[in-house]
Structure 1
Amino acid sequence: MDFTLVNLLSLLVGALFLANGYYLVKEGREALALFVMSLFVGAGLMFVAVYPNFFEMLATLLGLEWKARAILVVSNLVLFVIITYLINRIGKLYDRLSRLNEEVSLLKSELEELDE
């Protein structure tokens, strides 16, 4: 097995993804979906770090000529999933912020009425 510095960095970044996802869920600051995404990305990075020849097999399975194309296909798919999740999350946060602004405005108007 050809273990290089890139494999070590990939293993480290994968472990950091897993630890960060676990920490956010443990602290109750994020949803379970973020942990699942962190688990998927972190475990994927760690798997590729331990089995660097995986993309050669995947390239053959997909009928691609080069390993680099298989890496690009997989990374683009993962980025698509992450971006879709983040756009969805931003939309939900925007809705929550709008509702919060409405509630603050109502409370402010009630306080002004009570002061008069």
Structure 2
Amino acid sequence: MAMVYDYSLVNLLALVVGIAFLFNGYVIVRSERESLELFVMSLLIGAGLIVVALVPNVFQLVANVLGLELKARAILVISNLTLFVAVTYLLNRIGHMYDRLSRLNEELSLLRSELEEQRIDFEDRQDD
């Protein structure tokens, strides 16, 4: 039984955004500047968007598995779960960045203090 899908501009946009997420994941890995978690998140979101773009009725299957009557409810559940994971990850990253920034500020203050002491010692030696 061949399934015929009704594609729209939304499907095209989802496909483009999904490919952009996959490309972003590739760039992250290639440049080795970010963590594995960010790569996996980009990969999952990109792949999910591509699947939704190519198989629009996938949410009907999700609705059936979750025991929901409407496909729209399945879309909302999956979207909310995805947003929850993304926000939790980003809040975690912000916390880590805040800790790193605090440590960097402490180190910078210590270096400034040490530099000032060395400058004063150098000036004292010049005066002698």
Under a length normalisation based on structure 2, what TM-score does the superposition of the two structures give? 0.87
Counterpart of 1:44 (choices 35, 45, 48) is 48
Moved over 4 A (4+): none
Secondary structure (helix, strand or coil) at the match of 1:80 reads helix
- Does residue 94 of structure 1 match 2:98? yes
Distance 1:85 1:9 in 2: 25
Give the match for residue 126 of structure 2: none
Question: Which runs of structure 2 are paired with 1:1-116 in the superposition (5 Å)?
Answer: 1-116=5-120
Runs of 5+ consecutive residues of structure 2 not aligned to the other structure: 121-128
| TM-score, normalised with respect to structure 1 | 0.96
Deviation string 1:22-72 (CA, Å, 9 cap, x unpaired) is 112311221111010000000000011111111111112211111000000
Structure having the higher Rg: 2
d(CA) in 2 for partners of 1:93 and 1:62?
37
Structure 1: 5+ residue runs without aligned partners? none
Aligned residues between the structures: 116
- C-alpha distance in 1, partners of 2:112/2:43? 43
> 1:35 and 1:69 mapped to 2: Cα distance?
28
For residues 65-116 of structure 1, give each alpha carbon's deviation from its aligned partner in whole angstroms, at most 9, with x where no partner exists: 1100000000000000000100000000001000100100000000010011
Q: CA RMSD in A?
A: 0.8
